Amino acid sequence: MYKLVYQSAASPNITSEDIRNISETSRLFNTVNDITGFLIYYNFTFLQILESSKPILEELFFKIKQDNRNYNIQTLYESSNEERTFQDWNMAYSYNDLSDNSVESILFKCNLIFYCESLDKVDEASLLFLRRAELLLKEKG
């Protein structure tokens, strides 16, 4: 199993429609290609962990880097690992409500942090992703 963690900045003109399209397209593509992981979009930042075979993820990441809806793409971690962390999720969640005081925002942050803390086995790639997610979600929108 190959894992890839990256972070990128969303284009300034990205819309909620773009985010919905990314989420829907990714779910379908990931199901067909046996890709699991978790995507967060918050405060004009994408943070994602992807799990699959190396050739599939290299091809997908090439496409992500060509996508003009994001820029300043940083590979945070790459590794080969034997087990999936997000085996039941082909696209866990994307979030784009920037209202820091909304009930949805607070629940999303609390649920994600609770999920992060409740995982039994977490490898280095997943731990990096989860810690980055926690830091990102604690930032003000």
Assign 98 a pLDDT band (cuts: 50, 70, 90): very low
Query: Do the bridges between strand 2-10 and strand 36-42 make them parallel or antiparallel, or are there none, so unpaired?
Result: unpaired
Assign 78 a pLDDT band (cuts: 50, 70, 90): very high
Nearest CA to 86 out of 60, 48, 137 is that of 48
Model pLDDT for residues 2-59, shown as the tens digit of each residue: 999 999 999 999 988 898 888 888 888 998 999 998 888 888 899 999 999 999 999 9
